[in-house]
Structure 1
Amino acid sequence: MKRIQLLDKEFVLSIPASDIKRAIWDMAMKINRDLHDKNPLMVCILNGSFMFSADLMKLIEFPCEISFVKLSSYHGMESTGEVKQLIGLNENVEGRTVVLLEDIVDTGVTIDNLVRQLKTQNPADVKVATLLFKPEACTRDIKLDYVGLEIPNDFIVGYGLDYDGYGRNLPDIYTVVK
């Protein structure tokens, strides 16, 4: 599909599934090289990261754990600027390497907030792996350890990303038509 309709918005194909898979494979190879001896706790940030995290974890070649947190900072097509924690992390991270698995970093508010919270629990290290990064939108000074693809500051859906709950199931990523 080159164009799709979700609710009141039209979207056009911007990143095909093959490009997404290649970016995840490249990232997994770097993580395998860097963290194979660190016993990391991978933390999937729900809801958007579920597809990315699942596909990435299939390529990790060493034993590790995965856990989940659920955060919310969007309403419609806009970031609210406020991060709400809906489901928190139950695992003890003290002395562990934690890898946050994020679908997209745009303003950086969500990931900055979560990294700060985790660092109060004395982990050995906190790393961030994001499938997508919007450098033009980022307003925080954050360190991203693994970035799949840099993209323009457009609103997108698909591959876990949604517009008011719709579009997460799409294998490709689409950009809103303005």
Structure 2
Amino acid sequence: MSADLEHIRQVMREADCLHSEAEVEAAIARVGAQITADLADRNPVVFCVMNGGLIFSGKLLTHLQFPLEASYLHATRYRNQTSGGDLFWKAKPEVSFIDREVLIIDDILDEGHTLSAIIDFCKHAGAKAVYSAVLVDKDHDRKASPDLKADYCGLSCVDRYVFGYGMDYKGYWRNAAGIYAVKGM
């Protein structure tokens, strides 16, 4: 079933821009410098969480000034919906990270169920240490655990339904150049 493209276009026309492209790019550069300072000598395996982490990962990797192995994994709770469900693995990591340090790159830390499950998976599968980097941390008190925080975070945003820079609205607008909030959500 294809989405109503007029509705999808209307969502963008009416959306509130929370962070401009320039603000997002500056945040990515800052996160890249922080990660380089911390992990440059650690030979990490870097995993992009698909599909949301694709744009952030691609842009962030160019700011990581050290040798690394890059791969991907695909776990989701949303499946093109606007609210999360059970964790669903579409592709588990294929690069070995046993006794290695791992950096997980994702688009957003919302409630954190997906990120927490991925971190636990990596730890139980033999990673020496697991770090996380997110473009956006949503500001609310519904995190899966009160201790759950990303090691590296680009921006924070209000508790609304956001899209852009990898985050989607019903599978669309991952390509939006900025972070936007859906009107009324």
Would you say same fold, with TM above 0.5? Answer: yes
For residue 11 of structure 1, report the CA deviation from its aligned partner. Answer: 1.6
Write the mapping of 1:19-168 to structure 2, written as runs, cut at 5 A.
19-74=23-78, 75-80=80-85, 82-136=86-140, 137-140=142-145, 141-168=147-174
Aligned-pair RMSD on alpha carbons? 1.6
Give secondary structure in 1 for the equivalent of 2:52.
coil
Q: Render the CA deviation track for 1:126-151: whole Å, top value 9, x for unaligned.
A: 00011100130423232421011111
- The gaps in structure 2 that reach 5 residues or longer are 1-5
Q: Render the CA deviation track for 1:31-82: whole Å, top value 9, x for unaligned.
A: 11101100000100000111100000011110101100111211422122x1
- The gaps in structure 1 that reach 5 residues or longer are none
The answer (yes or no) to whether the contact 2:18–2:157 under 8 Å persists in 1 is: no
In the superposition, the TM-score normalised over structure 2's length comes to: 0.89
Q: Which moved more, 1:125-134 or 1:8-17?
A: 8-17
Cα distance in 1, alignment partners of residues 130 and 66 from structure 2: 18
2:3 alignment partner in structure 1: none
The answer (yes or no) to whether the contact 2:109–2:150 under 8 Å persists in 1 is: no
In the superposition, the TM-score normalised over structure 1's length comes to: 0.92
The answer (yes or no) to whether the contact 2:100–2:128 under 8 Å persists in 1 is: yes
1:6 alignment partner in structure 2: 8
Q: Which moved more, 1:133-142 or 1:99-108?
A: 133-142
Identity %: 29
Give secondary structure in 2 for the equivalent of 1:78.
coil
Q: What one-letter code is carried by the residue in structure 2 that aligns with 1:176?
A: V
Q: Which moved more, 1:100-109 or 1:137-146?
A: 137-146
Cα distance in 1, alignment partners of residues 90 and 67 from structure 2: 28
Q: What one-letter code is carried by the residue in structure 2 that aligns with 1:76?
A: Q
The answer (yes or no) to whether the contact 2:136–2:156 under 8 Å persists in 1 is: yes
Q: Hey, which of these two has a bigger chunk of strand by percent?
A: 1
Aligned positions, number: 174
